[in-house]
Copies of this chain bind each other. A is one copy, B any other.
């Protein structure tokens, strides 16, 4: 099954546009849990068990696992292996390297860890993305306009009357021969999100930045999907993982996911909310 079909099937089956970022941080573990790798494993696996029937995707960010050393990558492998087959795995790696090296990254994420999608950085151009896109049943979300303040430094530069991020969108559209590209656009830029949605044809958009970073959920959903006509994923991380600092963290995480699903589905069909 292609990566986009799997993504759509997961959104449909789990009645959710949510992607849960599995960004484990020893400093934020619930009270009473340890902060060692085994405790983190138990924590993440309980989050997955408590939510996997009502989310579209999980997105572990590699940074949090790499900071734990080689053991952290064993943890990542365990986490990926426990995500149910019908739920999408997005490895948030933001890689970009010359073709020969990018091939090795693609092999790592798609073959060793079994990701369905990865995130990649466009700065090095076409041949740095090609090794990921050559996996025709896998997909790559390309950084376009990110949710952080630094997005203004290069991504929002004006190039011949058009922002850098719009040049990125157009290149990615032209490179998306196998329909396995997506885009990353921060919820912190709702107007630009609508502009990008318009130009991005049917590509899925991964939208971080709702919640802790200040993006508005309703605008992210409406603009990211063009009124529910196109695919988009809303990413949430800390607000789900650390919904409770007690041992009920998994139930609290599920409650946050249910509330967000309800809000989003209420926008789609106001009668259901």
Contact = CB atoms under 8 A, between A and B. Distances in A.
Interface of A: 23, 25, 61, 63-64, 66-74, 76-77, 92, 94-105, 107-108, 112, 121-129, 143, 146-155, 157-160, 164, 167-168, 171
Which 3 A-B residue pairs are closest in the complex by CB-CB distance?
A125-B150, A125-B153, A70-B73
Which of A70, A102, A149, A171 lies at the interface centre, i.e. has the most chain B CB atoms within 10 A of its CB? A70
A101 B63 contact: yes
Contacts of A101: 23, 61, 63-64, 92
A69 B77 contact: yes
Contacts of A108: 63, 66-69
Nearest to A130: B150
B159 A122 contact: no
A146 B105 contact: no
Contacts of A96: 94, 96, 121, 123
A63 B124 contact: no
A97 B91 CA distance: 13
A184 B107 CA distance: 25
Given A64-B104, A105-B66, A152 B125 contact: yes
A70 B67 contact: no
Contacts of A103: 63
Contacts of A23: 100-101
20 contacts: A63-B103, A66-B73, A66-B104, A67-B104, A68-B108, A69-B73, A70-B74, A94-B96, A98-B147, A98-B148, A122-B154, A124-B148, A125-B149, A126-B149, A127-B148, A127-B150, A128-B148, A154-B168, A159-B164, A164-B164
B148 A125 contact: yes
B143 A99 contact: no
Given A73-B69, A148-B124, A149-B125, A157 B154 contact: no
A44 to B, nearest CB: 15
Given A108-B67, A146-B98, A168-B154, A123 B121 contact: yes
Nearest to A112: B69
Given A73-B73, A97-B94, A98-B146, A125 B104 contact: no
A124 B168 CA distance: 13
